[in-house]
Chains A and B, each alone.
Chain A
Amino acid sequence: MTKSFSIVSPDKLAADRYAGLTTESWRWLGTTALIVLVALLPFALSNYHVFELTMVMIYAIAVLGLNILTGYNGQISLGHGGFFAVGAYTTAILMHHYAVPYWATLPPAALICFVLGVLFGLPALRFEGPYLALVTLAMAVATPQVLKYFDNWTGGQQGLNLVKPSPPAALGIDRDRWLYFITLLVLLLAIRVAANLLHGRTGRALVAIRDHPIAAAAMGIDTARYKTLAFGTSTLFTGVAGALSAIVIGFVAPESFTLFLSISFLVGSAIGGIATIGGAIVGGIFIQFVPNLANDISDAAPSALYGVAMLLFMYAMPHGVVGTLGPLLTRSMLRIQARWPALIGK
């Protein structure tokens, strides 16, 4: 099954060749160029900027998880900050109390978040729309309080300090860049998994359930199973992102995982485009940079600017950046095809 991660919709164009190359070749070319660029980038930037980009990727993975749930399955979650926290604290507790090496904490974090998500998904089947929002909201609200409560594990209010991993000496790069590449690897893996999942049978089933649950059930799709799995997969992604965040930042505390984080993920998801994979990356960029930018511009009311940014994005692109620009791009290419068929044709 080809990894179909394309912003343009080739089926609408019904073309085999674009300026001489096939779709497949273009995709391969584009993806490789992008990966090369992204791989070289950290060597051109300062440590702090590399750290920021790493956080962008972490948020992108988290938002990707949310996109699977909200975009493809139509279930709203206001609680993904909580699952992010579970991943982060799983890593933190394993590293801090049991001296587990950082890379080995990722699978347990993934597993725990998956199981938790499935468990959450089961009762969530009964709820729709705003009711589901409330249930997930409860998760987000409960998380910091629960974290503070079990303080002998979690370090309570003070949180836990973690030792940041050292890069293997053989590679000769420093810690920030090493973490960047690890995160990049996880992000690429996540995109790959998501693309395969969502552009295949599972994805179609999820969209069917989202758009016409009754028709989907009538066609024999096991709605409950898919919805629960969607929840679990979604929380798995976000949990892994959380685990990575603990490793990269080197510190966890309840104050970092409030309702605001859950809302940020939802905002990032909507701004990028909920039913897209590329949108997750846009969302990650938005979450990381816009609040900081707002802070730089205004001392007095930075959140107001953040809010205004949200409004403007939604007015201009109600389906998100990728959700709006994607079809726009397809339409432009259709026009090019009509005008210059030699360029885009069979």
Chain B
Amino acid sequence: MHELLQQIFSGLAAGAVYASVALALVMIYRATDLVNFAQGEMAMFSTYIAWSLVTVGLPFWAAFLITLVASFLGGMAIERIIIRPVENAPVLAAVIVTIGLGLIFNSLAGWFYSYTVQDFPSPFPDRPLFGALMTTQELGVVGVTLVMLTLLFLFFRFTKTGLAMRAAAQNPESARLCGIPVGRMLAIGWGLAAAIGATAGIMVAPVLFLDPYMMSGVLLYAFAGALLGGISSPVGALVGGVIVGVTENLVGTYLIPTQLKLTVALALIILVLVFRPNGLFGTAIVRRV
């Protein structure tokens, strides 16, 4: 029983990371109808930036904040420069662009930082808590994620820009008629998504160890989690991400060898989707003829 609870908490920590990346995916999907397949690689690259800052001697949280700001600006730049040209093109073209972008980040990371696996420092001492039910590391990850989510919620709910972004994502034409610069809102959205991804990457790096392929598994699970929750629902992204995290952990520990873990986890998620094809919180797209 004790071990079960341990695994569940461990899964929650992993789930927090998946939930964050899933949220980033959903944010961009709601605004642009596009799944950003480069989200994982962008997060990985951000994590490398944090790593280099820490390696040069900066204290962890300073490096963290600088990386967040840099990622935000980078995300905005990517939307303006890389994504803008295909915004009005067929969706598939934009998908290919994000795939290419992911490849570029992956390759550049390998080039700048080499493919050797690196240790990444954690700000949380790795001590067991609550009678070895969880570690401070895991609690820290969940804590940071919760703080980030709260800030995001407050931003979207109570600020003028947050409201404008929600409007721009829902109905860009009406937003324009209100004088809202929809293009800039999109850029901010990408910036926020990049910052969220960076947070997720930095949180998970101490556990997964840092290499250019660190986030590929995370992206897959986050994508699955976002769909499980409903690709257009932010709440769904969070719930889906956590469920995937816990499920992955339990399946891997109790059911099958690590090799088939991903396959089984995906199979289970698809099984759920068969009964709820739009995800748990997704709304069926009512089509008017």
Contact = CB atoms under 8 A, between A and B. Distances in A.
Given A134-B227, A301-B111, A315-B86, A310 B220 contact: no
Given A70-B92, A126-B274, A131-B277, A145 B259 contact: yes
Nearest to A123: B274
A104 to B, nearest CB: 32
A261 interface: no
B26 to A, nearest CB: 10
Nearest to A299: B111
Given A131-B231, A303-B104, A318 B90 contact: yes
Contacts of A319: 89-90, 93
A318 B266 contact: no
B263 interface: yes
B270 A311 contact: no
B244 to A, nearest CB: 12
Contacts of B259: 145, 148-149
B101 interface: yes
A310 B103 CA distance: 10
Contacts of A313: 96
B287 A214 contact: yes
Contacts of A307: 99-104, 107
B263 A138 contact: yes
Interface in B76-121: 82, 85-86, 89-90, 92-97, 99-104, 106-108, 110-111
A111 interface: no
A142 B260 CA distance: 8
Contacts of A200: none
Contacts of B5: none
B229 to A, nearest CB: 12
B56 interface: no
Nearest to A311: B100
B104 A126 contact: no
A302 interface: yes
Contacts of B273: 126-127, 131, 134-135
B110 A314 contact: no
A307 B287 CA distance: 36
B104 A135 contact: no
A141 B262 contact: yes
A303 B213 CA distance: 13
Nearest to B85: A315
Given A131-B277, A135-B270, A149 B111 contact: no
B221 to A, nearest CB: 11
B103 A306 contact: yes
Contact of A310 (B29, B96, B270): B96
B220 A130 contact: no
A334 interface: no
B65 interface: no
A270 B92 CA distance: 7
Nearest to A214: B289
B267 interface: yes
B267 A311 contact: no
Interface in A160-215: 214-215
B223 interface: yes
Contact of B96 (A141, A149, A267): A267
Contacts of A342: none
B111 A215 contact: no
B224 interface: yes
A129 B110 CA distance: 32
Given A127-B273, A307-B102, A138 B266 contact: yes
A63 B97 CA distance: 18
A215 B90 contact: no
A241 interface: no
Contact of A304 (B103, B274, B279): B103
A282 interface: no
Interface string B247-289: 0000000000001101100110110011001110000010101
Interface string B105-147: 0111011000000000000000000000000000000000000
B92 A141 contact: no
Interface string A239-280: 000000000000000000000000100110011001000000
B266 A142 contact: yes
Contact of B111 (A214, A267, A304, A314): A304
Which of B96, B223, B266, B273 is packed against the most chain A CB atoms within 10 Å?
B96
A301 B107 contact: yes
Interface of A: 70, 76, 123, 126-131, 133-135, 137-138, 141-142, 145-146, 148-149, 214-215, 263, 266-267, 270-271, 274, 300-311, 313-315, 318-319
Interface of B: 29, 35, 82, 85-86, 89-90, 92-97, 99-104, 106-108, 110-111, 220, 223-224, 227, 231, 259-260, 262-263, 266-267, 269-270, 273-274, 277-279, 285, 287, 289
The 10 closest A-B pairs by CB, nearest first: A310-B100, A307-B103, A318-B89, A304-B107, A303-B107, A307-B104, A307-B100, A138-B266, A318-B93, A301-B107
Given A70-B92, A131-B279, A149-B259, 6 more contacts: A130-B231, A131-B277, A267-B96, A301-B110, A304-B103, A314-B93
